[in-house]
Amino acid sequence: MGNVIEVRHLVKRYGDVEAVADVSLALPEGDVLCLLGPNGAGKSTTVRILSTLTRASAGSGQIAGYDLNRQTRQIRQSIGYVAQEAGTDAYLTGRENLLVQAAAHRIRGRAAQDRVAELLELVQLEYAADRLARTYSGGMRRRLEIAMGIVHRPRLLFLDEPTTGLDPQARTALWSGLAGIAAEQQLSILLTTHYLEEADQLADRIVIINGGRVVAEGTPAELKARVATDSDHPAGLDEVYQRYAGPVEEVLAP
């Protein structure tokens, strides 16, 4: 299996601001990669470049086997993207939201009905499928947004801070849900988060970004072993974060 993301030396400048200074990363097919880093580190900008929402000022690579700089249309068909402020229509039901999304991907009729039913089951919203989205809790809305992001069966899903704003219980439920969705749909996932516990639970690989640069990269176990001072006592992810990205107070406590 190859890498579903492989990018080198990405840079993004906005005038004098270098939002991304040097980011290289790889995501093996089927894995979950967590991007960690303080506010303003360049996480969202990196995700926006990888998902073709914005063009890199420099750098190159492949997403789902397509050239990042030249094959944006093919990349868009192969990925899903759930933004921080993703949009569900509050005045449509969960099912209707999904059907609208299916139509946007030219999935119609029976195929759309079937796919939507499958997704409602996958994100455990069957019981609320025909209620208006405005009656959903934060966690339910997040699950609906994730389902909307994968209507077209992408190989790769980007999630920008999927659990920000959720209460701890809803957050934990979403973590186990996401792991199941990734396995069942054969999805690779790249997500940004401020929660170290989220990265610890979900990530096969962690990339820490600070000041627009990758400052540490590895599996959670590798990173913990790297900062451990005593080989009998592996470090926690908070110590890893502190070493590479600064005070943990900047990331949200679980």
Ligand X SMILES: Nc1ncnc2c1ncn2[C@@H]1O[C@H](COP(=O)(O)OP(=O)(O)OP(=O)(O)O)[C@@H](O)[C@H]1O
Alpha-carbon span 52 to 48, nearest angstrom: 6
Q: How far is the CB of 188 from ligand X (least distance, A)?
A: 20
Select the residue interacting with ligand X from 25, 31, 45, 146 (CB under 6 A).
45
Select the residue interacting with ligand X from 27, 36, 37, 191 (CB under 6 A).
37
DSSP per-residue letters across 114-145: HHHHHHHHHTT-GGGTTSBGGGS-HHHHHHHH
Select the residue interacting with ligand X from 42, 61, 80, 162 (CB under 6 A).
42
* Residues 207/214, Cβ–Cβ less than 8 Å: yes
Specify the stretch interacting with ligand X by CB under 6 A; choose among 3-11, 40-48, 95-103, 150-158: 40-48
Residue 198 in the binding site for ligand X (CB under 6 A) = no
Residues β-bridged to residue 26: 6
Alpha-carbon span 122 to 118, nearest angstrom: 6
Alpha-carbon span 59 to 251, nearest angstrom: 28
* Residues 96/125, Cβ–Cβ less than 8 Å: no
Q: How far is the CB of 61 from ligand X (least distance, A)?
A: 18
Residue 41 in the binding site for ligand X (CB under 6 A) = yes
Nearer to ligand X, 107 or 197 (CB): 197
Nearer to ligand X, 194 or 205 (CB): 194
Spatial strand order of the sheet with 3-14 comes to 66-67, 58-63, 3-14, 17-28, 213-218, 205-210, 32-36, 188-192, 156-160, 79-82
Write the binding mask 10 to 29 for ligand X: x where contact by CB under 6 A, - elsewhere: ----x--x-x----------
Q: How far is the CB of 250 from ligand X (least distance, A)?
A: 9
* Residues 65/59, Cβ–Cβ less than 8 Å: no
Q: How far is the CB of 152 from ligand X (least distance, A)?
A: 25
Residue 80 in the binding site for ligand X (CB under 6 A) = no
Q: How far is the CB of 209 from ligand X (least distance, A)?
A: 7
Q: How far is the CB of 13 from ligand X (least distance, A)?
A: 9
Alpha-carbon span 253 to 129, nearest angstrom: 33
Residue 40 in the binding site for ligand X (CB under 6 A) = yes
Select the residue interacting with ligand X from 3, 26, 27, 44 (CB under 6 A).
44
Residue 61 in the binding site for ligand X (CB under 6 A) = no
CA-based torsion, 44, 198, 117, 77: positive or negative? positive
